[in-house]
Chain A
């Protein structure tokens, strides 16, 4: 018979404790202590303390946001285009709505950076990009080119991107961000409603530095000033990473265009018509791609308005076949900014503004 191996009492005690810990861990697995409450309110007001109205841009802070203070993944930012007197092009605020529904003013600009538009995006390192299109008195007669400002994750102004060729009335934005853990590259697409140009700004970033280059990706989109809508032209953008195509919603001719080689081209590309729908498109202002490839368009009713189809969000197949629509306000002119964020396996977060009621609504939806 082999002798038993004798261990010192201390080793026995350590072994025993380890065994107890192991068994405890096995029998009673660690339980999450994170509550699901409070739930994000479905709808919140977008009117800040200074009285700004007319929410335009909406963006959901990406899940890939690096750890840090200020903005957090899942927060929603909303930009206001009008001031408290409802004068277009004079709004100065971006609101932050946290996942618990808390609303605060994230950023307040000063003249001439007024009239914050739907050209709003957030990179995974926390940088916030916001376009503006200012007016002196709220009329189309006094519109100015504006600029594309860069803010940090606390809402502090850091600088501006682009030049006169690439930024002239920034109106819509799409972001293709390949970054992770505070470093990476992002392709930022910007539609310019005063020049009919769609630009791409390539941003490289690390926790210590940011670099950017820009180019005109496509030009020639129809655009015009409008006494009611202020401006019409290339508006909402959505980037299809599977096909490397940028989709452009055009509010002048109620059409969706596509630009090939969007993230990789080093020259100006030719945009082609994907589809035109005068029945269901009414001044499309924002555009997003759902997890199943369908397109979701927000009608501004800035052109081709139909009182029987007010403030519609319209769903199309990837090829442009109409599927369904949903009014988000009983009157025309309510739908503007629209954003989605993929949660995974067809489930996504969706956020939109009602320009009439000055509200932000969020929903979780499942693409079929």
Chain B
């Protein structure tokens, strides 16, 4: 294998790795208005199942009445008519990070939104964020993100009566098979480099 082929090989592996780490966005724009939990959306092969303790109908897809949340959003109360619900999102693959836009139904002091991540049922960690009022819009909006150890489930909750989410950006952990591939590529580069140095040394000795 020539050096140029090795470089091509490694670049291809890196591209694959980058593709695996690109974020997948769940924005509910492809869902029919009125779609209520429990339901599953699949984007780029990654599935997210949205559910709540108030199902059927705890949360519902409806048009945005917000600024940073656009198109369709997912929020409560849904057809079940329940407030103060938590939203559970189960992903079909492990994630390394997630970020999303949210709004809370506060008229005065914005309530914090909490995102708790689990690997199966094992707590991985949590994050909390509070939105801000935006001129021309009625409710506080914000962003929240979480990253770290792998997780495949998040629970979103707030002390606000209701909340809505949109643009859930999920980044899957790299495929395990890519790491050996990268290692092989890097090893090949190292070997090639050593051989080149060895040839150069031999040539200079001659």
Chain B: minimal CB distance from A179 (Å): 10
Interface size on A, residues (CB 8 A): 18
Q: Which 6 A-B pairs have the closest CB atoms?
A: A63-B81, A292-B107, A64-B81, A29-B32, A344-B77, A345-B105
Contact A32 B65 (CB under 8 A): no
Asked if A16 is at the interface (CB within 8 A of a chain B CB), the reply is: no
B83→A180 contact, CB < 8 A = no
Chain A's closest residue to B104 (CB) is A345
Q: Which residue of B lies closest to A73 (CB)?
A: B81
Which of these, A30, A62, A344, contacts B76 with CB under 8 Å? A344
Residues of A within 8 A of B (CB): 29-30, 32, 62-64, 73, 180, 291-293, 342-346, 367-368
Residues of B with C-beta under 8 A to A291:
105, 107, 161
The 8 Å CB contact of B107, one of A29, A73, A367, is A367
Q: Is the interface of B mostly helix, strand, loop or mixed?
A: loop
Q: Chain B interface residue count: which class?
A: 10 to 19
Q: Which residues from A are CB-within-8-Å of B131?
A: none
List B contacts of A64 (CB < 8 A): 80-82
B residues within 8 Å of A by Cβ? Answer: 32, 34, 54, 65, 75-77, 80-83, 105, 107-108, 138-139, 161-162
Chain B residues in 8 Å Cβ range of A32: 34
Return A25 CB to nearest CB of chain B, in Å: 10
CB distance from A28 to the nearest CB of B (A): 11
Q: B79 — nearest CB in chain A belongs to which residue?
A: A63
Quick one: given A180-B54, A291-B107, A367-B107, are A342 and B83 in contact (CB under 8 Å)? yes
What chain A residues lie within 8 Å of B32 (beta carbons)? Answer: 29-30
Chain A nearest CB from B192 CB (Å) reads: 32
| A180 engages B76 (CB within 8 Å) | no
Give the shortest distance, in Å, between A323 (CB) and chain B (any CB): 13
Min Cβ gap A59→B in Å is 15
Nearest opposing residue in chain A for B31, CB measure = A29
Option from A180, A346, A367 in Cβ contact (under 8 Å) with B80? A180
**Which one of B75, B83, B107 contacts A293 once the chains associate, using CB atoms below 8 Å?**
B107
**A residues near B65, Cβ cutoff 8 Å:** 345
| Distance, CA A344 to CA B161, complexed state (A) | 9
Extra A-B contacts (18), CB below 8 Å, given A180-B82, A367-B107: A30-B32, A32-B34, A62-B81, A291-B105, A291-B107, A292-B107, A293-B108, A342-B83, A343-B77, A344-B77, A344-B105, A345-B65, A345-B75, A345-B138, A345-B162, A346-B105, A346-B107, A368-B107
